[in-house]
Structure 1
């Protein structure tokens, strides 16, 4: 009887399979260093060709010898459930939704490490020399349920999965019920090198305190929220799902990070590589994308639940087009909300009518509030099922930042659960009125504004109507250069309600270019609206009338300094590198040279405001000059705020950083040095760009005043 070519390596005409008993084999489980002690004592089950089971335990060196089974190949499995009391595993195994079938083998593999951070298994393996058969295997090869485990990674020494199929075709071997596991062959020593179950997870601080690490890491996560989830098939109609689309949310978390592969692309048009800082974590402590296994989880079958429906929210079908993703590990629940990406989003941005924020106090922008309401229940359902005291970290860019603010405040006010959200937003517009802002004062919100991003200037304080309003008396202020931008809304009438107001602690990224061409950057809290409002004035190019709302939004959202990959991510990366450099050198946040340059520029700006105030005073009729005018009051208030900005700048001149300023809650973490080593292994993170460098002082630049008026900032 001849054999097919692919079966020849297992059987031949002289040694067919038979049902005679008395055969033997030995096998060994080792780690990537060839050490079997990592797996010593594990229980195993062998199913032979007659369907009989042979059970035993590996010795202290990870070896086992099995005798007396029926002749032919056997199937090896190691699927005893984890019986320890480590809390992370107990929580995952006993949770009400998607309890995981964690085995003792999985826990051992999670304690093993890769020989290097490049995720390359040692070739050749030290254990390979003494083996008749040598395979590089994964935990999923040796257990029955593997949907919660990572996708199989490629290897030159993978076991041949068609061996199980071959046994079935030849009409012998274990019953079909047992056709899971790994095929071993008699009279052979088989060495199985088990791939470590390690994952990479982005390092995110859970501390209230602002840190440069979160500034950068969450900018990348906010950018990822613009991507599709990438699940194939999207409906989960098959027995398994995969995430082949790059970049996509599912691909980043499942195909890359769960497989111990670094991801750097978070936008389909991204060219420059931006690597997050990663922690080498046990697989069960990764950012989890929940498993899909209709045989194990009834909800996958009856309710049509799948990873995309659980982790991804996209309301395109119902009109708001709101999009966000949510995932978690044992310390953090991460929510990232997408910004403006469609015509429906732009219409929502323009709908500035105020409506009651029923989840708290005050009123909110109607368009942003509708988007928040669309996704609120989705987030609440996820938190009810998977939140176990983790810190809820929320981020969003542009429109996504406004929605994220309303979501974070609603969660903070949830009377049924003790949520404690931490919020980072990038280029977010005003989302609510002054009453809302006062009521949300306890919410920790770090609001990041780029130096010439016009979007944070809208909605203007007067916007509480969908109609176009203007008063001819505003023409002079609108058309005036420089300080005209400060009184963007002067003369306009707001129809009822409190004015729109920003929430959170603003941090302004301000790049500066010195006369010798040196570029630097300062991330600071200016405390005044001049810089921010001037950016809006520049974007609108006002010519004596208030523009139509659709034109206003079109100009705003085409501003290049509003985009994440072109602006906010490079700025956040530069700030992280700048602060790392400052921490290492024990320097100050602002060098004497930078302080002198910015301080003189702010002084010039203050003089512009005072000149404009005097000009407006001269324009008023003589009999009204003794009475305070709203324009004069607004300018005087801004002059005071500008004085505060100079005082804050002065404090930065002496401000020295500690590790928590840079790395937050991870400043003293055992993994920090290893995470930094991995991050700096990439050439992109070792080469300081000009914008991230601290400029050295020069003698010929001292005492020189530099031009910085309101328009020159943008």
Structure 2
């Protein structure tokens, strides 16, 4: 209808619509290849300019035609709820909180695919030449409730949204209070290309055993925990929310991945690209950020004020107001619940980390670091409330870096011990300090925990097993240790002594990055499982450090200057990427995991370490009086020398180890989506680096953003 029609008599107050009939309109729904069979039989609803309602079904080719309608534009939409039998969709539609208004149209669109691998719109749909009008539409254009659907993507052929607004202003069209549907014009055939509802989902293995895929993927998500959630408005939203901040947790899951965009930035200052390995899935199987719709969900209504729920409150925990400053995010899909806990970032974190006093772990056995325990208790109810609403038997995968790793351990064990919950938990931590005592560690033996340590990272060496005191005792010692503390907060409790209780002890199976500098100057990293304290404490073990019960300050300071090995985007993530590439190449070539040259270099380092331990043992024997406690040191040194021998044997076994697909990809080893995901991953030049040793990429100068803050948890 042209604009002059508004001046005709049938647009008066008495006759607001055209009374002339005898007109027609036809339309079809197609995918990006121009095929409409996916939408065949779909029920549609049309409202004309008089308010007349028409219902029907598309034919098997996705086509429909209405004849003898009133003159003027009509509004088309597809709002029938999904009525199929697939369990996932049924569960999403009837769950107790945030039940989703999934339509049959949404389900059909989730079964279609993009015509290209990157998911960008194209303009060569074959139906375009056969139609009078051609629109590129989204599912959210054609349904009433769309808060759970992805944002609209840029498109060259967008529908005439102003026409829908004009009809609403004139009182035409559907009676619903919200604008919904596509305006079609009479006596034209309109082709509607529906964008596929597909999402990218980071691949995570759900098997217990360690795999290179999870090593790399969860390193990225552990670093992601330092980002903001990025919701706008952050609090008290009125009718909708957005996530424009990139990078942010909300932007990654609610916009980038939901919109089929490959995201790689996990730090605001990051320039080096680290892409997760993604699988393409139907939209409803993505990592979910819950919808915000006050009309559908009473808990979203603005009048609730402080009690109002919104995505940031449901998915993001930030306890700055209450004093612990703990931060974490949680999201889920039908197979995995993902929880990531932030490491040290603020002054409150630093004070908490420095409190090495042990307190009872009320949710299990043993004692825990008081500062870490307080942070865990602060976020426990946030996690359990989320699980109460959205846990459907998924594997709960938890990760954390530094302080976040310590809190993640306490959280994982606390969840594991909830009566009758039967949570199946998998934990990966990176550069985590000791969080609890030996009794806790023994009691948590059933918890599956892969603990990643980068060589010479100082954080896993603390709290030292002999620490058990409060900040009142360590502050004076810390002040005297450094006359000019650096910006990173390099403090140490020089006066700490154990005052009782069991010793601090690490939990979990350690995976250790051993760095190697090759003859050509490139850096590599061998990942292996050593069995000795000297390696576990990254060249700074207590047998070599302690004189009596006091640390050797010179050795401590030398280790602190290796603190860049605690950073995520500059250290752990590159090493994890290099390990994934090394294991991929080893799987393909069926060659040994460690080359002869690498074995020689690492074995030489272990031999030097063993000789240092023997020398220390001889020195102690000569210098200690007969009535002192030197035999305790000798016992520890003898045990350490034996463990070092075992570690060398483990290293030797790597020379002959062959990998299978499950070592590299875990439960995704034989997934139908794996090869497509790898093909997408290898399109990025960064991931095509070929090297026998998968050299560790050098960090860029700017890759030292806030995910790499070194604070007091690196020391105490």
Q: TM-score, normalised by structure 1?
A: 0.89
1:637-658 deviation per Cα after TM superposition (whole angstroms, max 9, x unaligned): 1101101101111211111100
Task: Find the counterpart in structure 1 of residue 566 from structure 2.
Answer: 562
Instruction: Identify unmatched segments of 5+ residues in structure 2.
Output: 12-16, 478-491, 697-716
1:136-193 deviation per Cα after TM superposition (whole angstroms, max 9, x unaligned): 0010011000001001111011112111111234454444547421101100000000
Equivalent residue of 1:259, what SS? coil
| 2:84 maps to 1:71 | no
1:644-700 deviation per Cα after TM superposition (whole angstroms, max 9, x unaligned): 101111211111100000000000000000000000011111124786249xxxxxx
Contact map agreement 2:211 2:666 (CA 8 A) in 1: yes
Q: Shift of residue 468 of structure 1?
A: 4.3
Which gives a bigger RCO, structure 1 or 2 (Cα 8 Å, sep 6+)? Answer: 2
| 2:352 maps to 1:348 | yes
Task: Find the counterpart in structure 2 of residue 707 from structure 1.
Answer: none
Mark the CA change 1:14 to 1:155 in structure 2 (over 3 Å): closer, same or farther: farther
Mark the CA change 1:10 to 1:181 in structure 2 (over 3 Å): closer, same or farther: farther
Distance across 2 between alignment mates of 1:304 and 1:512: 53
Distance across 2 between alignment mates of 1:83 and 1:160: 30
1:323-379 deviation per Cα after TM superposition (whole angstroms, max 9, x unaligned): 000000000000000000000001000000000001000000000000000000000
Further displaced range: 595-604 or 638-647 = 595-604
Task: Find the counterpart in structure 2 of residue 661 from structure 1.
Answer: 663
Q: TM-score, normalised by structure 2?
A: 0.89
Distance across 2 between alignment mates of 1:688 and 1:159: 47
Task: Find the counterpart in structure 2 of residue 255 from structure 1.
Answer: 255
Distance across 1 between alignment mates of 2:515 and 2:557: 25
Task: Find the counterpart in structure 2 of residue 226 from structure 1.
Answer: 226
Contact map agreement 1:229 1:248 (CA 8 A) in 2: yes
Task: Find the counterpart in structure 1 of residue 410 from structure 2.
Answer: 406
Equivalent residue of 1:320, what SS? coil
| 2:653 maps to 1:651 | yes
Distance across 2 between alignment mates of 1:13 and 1:542: 96
| 2:637 maps to 1:635 | yes
| 2:394 maps to 1:390 | yes
Distance across 1 between alignment mates of 2:73 and 2:493: 82
Further displaced range: 269-278 or 178-187 = 178-187
Contact map agreement 2:455 2:538 (CA 8 A) in 1: no
Equivalent residue of 2:639, what SS? helix
Distance across 2 between alignment mates of 1:262 and 1:638: 46
Contact map agreement 2:457 2:538 (CA 8 A) in 1: no
Mark the CA change 1:615 to 1:536 in structure 2 (over 3 Å): closer, same or farther: closer
Distance across 2 between alignment mates of 1:11 and 1:660: 68
Task: Find the counterpart in structure 2 of residue 99 from structure 1.
Answer: 99
Q: Shift of residue 118 of structure 1?
A: 1.2
Distance across 2 between alignment mates of 1:275 and 1:216: 10
User: Among 590, 596, 615, which residue is 2:594 paired with?
Assistant: 590
Q: Shift of residue 545 of structure 1?
A: 9.9
Cα RMSD (Å) of the superposition? 2.9
Equivalent residue of 2:582, what SS? helix
Mark the CA change 1:566 to 1:451 in structure 2 (over 3 Å): closer, same or farther: same
Mark the CA change 1:581 to 1:690 in structure 2 (over 3 Å): closer, same or farther: closer
Equivalent residue of 2:201, what SS? strand
Contact map agreement 2:474 2:494 (CA 8 A) in 1: no
Mark the CA change 1:438 to 1:212 in structure 2 (over 3 Å): closer, same or farther: same
Further displaced range: 651-660 or 327-336 = 651-660
Q: Shift of residue 125 of structure 1?
A: 1.3
Distance across 2 between alignment mates of 1:307 and 1:9: 46
Equivalent residue of 2:418, what SS? coil
1:610-639 deviation per Cα after TM superposition (whole angstroms, max 9, x unaligned): 122111111134x559x9611211111110
Equivalent residue of 1:421, what SS? strand
Task: Find the counterpart in structure 1 of residue 481 from structure 2.
Answer: none
Q: Shift of residue 554 of structure 1?
A: 14
Contact map agreement 1:462 1:489 (CA 8 A) in 2: no
> What is the correspondence of 1:15-414 to structure 2 with a 5 Å cutoff?
18-170=18-170, 172-175=172-175, 177=177, 179-301=179-301, 302=304, 303-414=307-418
Contact map agreement 1:33 1:122 (CA 8 A) in 2: no
Mark the CA change 1:589 to 1:489 in structure 2 (over 3 Å): closer, same or farther: farther
Contact map agreement 2:287 2:333 (CA 8 A) in 1: yes
Mark the CA change 1:370 to 1:553 in structure 2 (over 3 Å): closer, same or farther: farther
> What is the correspondence of 1:673-688 to structure 2 with a 5 Å cutoff?
673-688=675-690
1:474-521 deviation per Cα after TM superposition (whole angstroms, max 9, x unaligned): xxxxxxxxxxxxxx9999741010000000000101111134434332
Distance across 2 between alignment mates of 1:619 and 1:179: 86
Distance across 2 between alignment mates of 1:541 and 1:85: 64
Distance across 2 between alignment mates of 1:661 and 1:598: 22
Q: Shift of residue 71 of structure 1?
A: 1.4
Equivalent residue of 1:317, what SS? coil
Mark the CA change 1:34 to 1:636 in structure 2 (over 3 Å): closer, same or farther: same
User: Among 607, 616, 620, which residue is 2:620 paired with?
Assistant: 616
Mark the CA change 1:176 to 1:326 in structure 2 (over 3 Å): closer, same or farther: closer
Equivalent residue of 1:560, what SS? helix
Distance across 2 between alignment mates of 1:605 and 1:556: 19
Q: Shift of residue 210 of structure 1?
A: 0.2
Equivalent residue of 1:316, what SS? coil
Task: Find the counterpart in structure 2 of residue 423 from structure 1.
Answer: 427
1:231-284 deviation per Cα after TM superposition (whole angstroms, max 9, x unaligned): 011124220000001110000001100001111001111110100000000000
